[in-house]
Structure 1
Amino acid sequence: MSSTVITIPNEDEITLNKKKTCQFAPLSIVSSIISMQSKPDMRKVIHSIKVGIALVLVSLLYLLDPLYKQVGDNALWAIMTVVVIFEFSAGATLGKGLNRGIGTILGGGLGCLAAILADEVGGIGNIIIVGISVFVFGAAATYSRLVPSIKRRYEYGAVIFILTFNLVVVSGLRADKIIKLARERLSTICMGFAICIFINLLIFPMWASDELHNSLATRFEKLACCIEECLEEYFRIVNEKENQLSANFSSCKSVLQSKSNDESLVNFSRWEPWHGKFGFSYPWDKYQQIGDATRELAVTIVSLQGCLQYPGQPSPAIRQSIKEPCEVVGSSLVWTLRQLGGSIMKMERCRPKALMASKSHSTNIELSLVTSHSILGAAENGEGLAMASFVFLLMKLVEEVEVLAKEVDELGELASFQTK
């Protein structure tokens, strides 16, 4: 019988190790902080610097006397505009800036008309006209915010319209130079908007369309890796006492949580001008449809987690009876997903022929279940049902990947992808 020798350090060695740990603790902290500085963090730093530059430029309207004499205290509106509309991506900044401009122009213009009409009537009619106009336009603008098509792109503009209209109409009760005031405020808002657009689009621009394109393309690789891990886990030979799930479904869960981010990026991408590989009238709606299809696929993959965690799993011998056809279908699905992701990333059209093969292989799985009916019938404690559930979900993956491939092919046609 062999023996194991364990070396026990003396007290001096322990003290020395503690000193070394304390001595190099600050260095380890610094190194860990540096390692955390990834590419997305650098983008945040660049964005912060750009906002600082914009604030400095717009503050010159206050700091420089010649400019202050021209705009006066209305320079505050330019600073507010920079703070409010300067967003991370160029599309978000353009969207909020144009919404603010349109809302200000419409609200200010209609507010001036209502104020002038109320002033002409005079007396008690002045208050009545102002009250009716505030109610009608405020209610109409609020209702428009609830319409999905308007809410998605113009909600901020509706809010600015309500705010501007009410301020102009109410101040018109006691302000004689309301038109001049509205013109001066609009000019300062345009100054702030111009500074934001100039800095955001010309200094290291960050495009929402690029982020949407890359995130959608890399999503296919995540789903493909999850399918691989599921198959490896299901047919892995383990001890009877081992009941730990080694497959990682975090990437699938991140795909499931991507809906709100996709909707925001699609909305911002619509506002962006032509740049790089994305031209005008690019089919961003198709990106959202493909994102929905990937989330449906992720739901099915996560459902496999229940099969893997089910305590009444079939014995390894029973699972081995369908291992070969399942692995053929799984490898076909993984290859197809990676081809589709590469097609979107490279903007090249491809028609994966493996989908037809995967559908025929799913038939082989059904045949294997029929031929192994005796094995399924002999399985106890629901083992046959558990294996049938796994096979059903795998066949469902085939159908969903086929739908996903059609969506990607339609995107290639609409976006004029190059043909391999």
Structure 2
Amino acid sequence: MESTSTHVISITNGEENIAPRKNNKTKTFHFSISFPPVFSRLRENKIHFSLFSIGSNLRNKQKKDTKRIIHSIKVGISLVLISLLYLLEPLYELVGENAIWAIMTVVVTFEFSAGATLGKGLNRGMGTVLGGGLGIMAAVLAQKLGGVVANPIIIGASVFFFGTIATYFRLFPSVKKRYDYGVMILILTFNLVVVSGVRTEDQKVWEIARDRLLTIVMGFVVCISVSLLVFPLWASDELHDSIVTRFQGLAHSLQVCLEEYVKFGTEKENKPAANFTICKSLLDSKSKDELLANFAKWEPWHGKFGFFYPWEKYLKMGEVLGELAAIILAVGGCLQDSTTPMALASASELESCEAIGSGIVWTLRELGDSMKQMRKCEAESHISAKLKAARAELLVISTSKIAAIENMDALALTSFVFLLKKVVDKVEELTKEVEQVGDIAGFRAHSTL
């Protein structure tokens, strides 16, 4: 039997060809697919995917538990080392009761990742130096200019002025993101130094500021040394691995969703309930990404990450991945809300949707692999052509269906095709972001692997 018209969409890499289905009532679409038939393969390997997912979750849980244990041990080591200022007589004679400031520095500064510890320690150091310097100047000025009555007035006015100004700047988003703790320490140190100057002489104020700064530096050195030298935990690694995992997780979620519903349309099985846990978890991941990126910017050159690494691009990728997760959730909702959405599609349209879905899944995994291995994805020569072909095919399907909407199920199918097109658009945006990261970060070319 022959069809009245034929539309040919070619997507090749020379690996395999899928023969077309022909139908005398509908248009026939011929495909030469460059990626493996992942949906058909999934039908035969559901147990394998389930076991792989369970094993991956167990490995992630064990990895997190190990990191928690390492962090706890490192905090204990730091507290023991800084307590030597009290335990050893020569050290205690050097710092005296000011050793308590070193212990406080360790307790409040030591964070889970090296970047967080370094950022918080530097903030504490800068806040202490600036606050102490300003406090000394204000205390000396009050003692020189004021008497018994004017001295408290000048100090009170300086406390009000600096506290107000510092708090105002602390509310700016750019300052709050990276220097909030430093500004808070500046306010605290300034008040402690300037108020103590009311009851002490000029020389005593200098000694108080100097001793407190010295002990804070001691605590900071202990924190940084242990954090960087004893099994360092990097925020940059966590952010990088998190982004890579999202590519693979969204690819698997979309694969399962489309495969199940294509099979529902062809085999008339009971409608399954696809699992969208991964997609839902990505909807509120922006705050965590921003926190990790902020910590990563403080970290020194280590491993595969250098100075001025494009962490802002990672945040952009995280936003696009979150938007893609929302669209995938909408695709699942669109299919679940109708009774037999895929049954309304012709065999050629089912074949088209399956092929397009396979292409999107393959692209997401390819992008995730390129990020994981830190190599260029060669978007122009491989991925972009496939996405353009998928968009053209979806345009053909949606055009034919818009004119044939007769009931809610047909409308659901049309909405499904539209959402699938939005998925393609987001994947194309992701491709551009990955390509830009590769250029800025200097990823190695694919041919060097």
Q: TM-score range by the shorter chain?
A: 0.7 to 0.9
Match 1:396 to one of 394, 400, 422:
422
Going from structure 1 to structure 2, the CA distance change for 1:368 and 1:122 (only over 3 Å counts) comes to closer
Matches within 5 A, 1:16-415: 38-123=62-147, 124-176=149-201, 177-237=204-264, 242-245=270-273, 247-314=274-341, 316-318=343-345, 320=347, 322-352=349-379, 353-371=382-400, 376-377=404-405, 379-380=406-407, 382-415=408-441
Amino acid at match of 2:160: F
**Could you tell me how far 1:303 is from its partner in structure 2?**
1.1
Aligned-partner Cα distance in 1 for 2:433–2:401: 36
Comparing 324-333 with 98-107, greater Cα deviation is found at 324-333
Aligned-partner Cα distance in 1 for 2:402–2:209: 81
**Could you tell me how far 1:83 is from its partner in structure 2?**
0.4
Contact 1:312 1:386 in 2 (8 A): no
**Could you tell me how far 1:199 is from its partner in structure 2?**
0.6
Contact 2:293 2:315 in 1 (8 A): yes
Amino acid at match of 1:214: D
Structure 1 unaligned residues grouped into runs of 5+: 1-33
1:238-282 CA-to-partner distances (Å, cap 9, x unmatched) read: 79894541x111111122222111111100011011111111111
Aligned-partner Cα distance in 1 for 2:445–2:436: 13
Comparing 206-215 with 110-119, greater Cα deviation is found at 206-215
Aligned-partner Cα distance in 2 for 1:255–1:71: 49
Aligned-partner Cα distance in 2 for 1:147–1:175: 36
Identity, % of aligned pairs? 54
Give the equivalent residue in structure 2 for 1:3.
none
SS of match in other structure, 2:264: coil
Aligned-partner Cα distance in 2 for 1:313–1:147: 53
Contact 2:401 2:414 in 1 (8 A): no
**Could you tell me how far 1:206 is from its partner in structure 2?**
0.6
Contact 1:336 1:355 in 2 (8 A): no
Contact 2:397 2:417 in 1 (8 A): no
**Could you tell me how far 1:314 is from its partner in structure 2?**
2.7
Aligned-partner Cα distance in 1 for 2:302–2:386: 39
**RMSD, aligned α-carbons:** 2.0
Aligned-partner Cα distance in 1 for 2:437–2:61: 35
Contact 1:223 1:298 in 2 (8 A): yes
Comparing 102-111 with 289-298, greater Cα deviation is found at 289-298
Going from structure 1 to structure 2, the CA distance change for 1:155 and 1:201 (only over 3 Å counts) comes to same
**Could you tell me how far 1:371 is from its partner in structure 2?**
4.2
**Could you tell me how far 1:64 is from its partner in structure 2?**
1.1
Contact 1:313 1:387 in 2 (8 A): no
Aligned-partner Cα distance in 1 for 2:346–2:97: 77
1:122-153 CA-to-partner distances (Å, cap 9, x unmatched) read: 22221222122111111111111111111110
**Could you tell me how far 1:320 is from its partner in structure 2?**
4.4
SS of match in other structure, 1:325: helix
**Could you tell me how far 1:233 is from its partner in structure 2?**
2.5
**Could you tell me how far 1:369 is from its partner in structure 2?**
4.1
1:371-420 CA-to-partner distances (Å, cap 9, x unmatched) read: 4567x34x43x111100010000000111111111011111111011111
Comparing 268-277 with 34-43, greater Cα deviation is found at 34-43
**Could you tell me how far 1:321 is from its partner in structure 2?**
5.2
User: TM-score scaled by structure 1?
Assistant: 0.87
Contact 1:321 1:372 in 2 (8 A): no
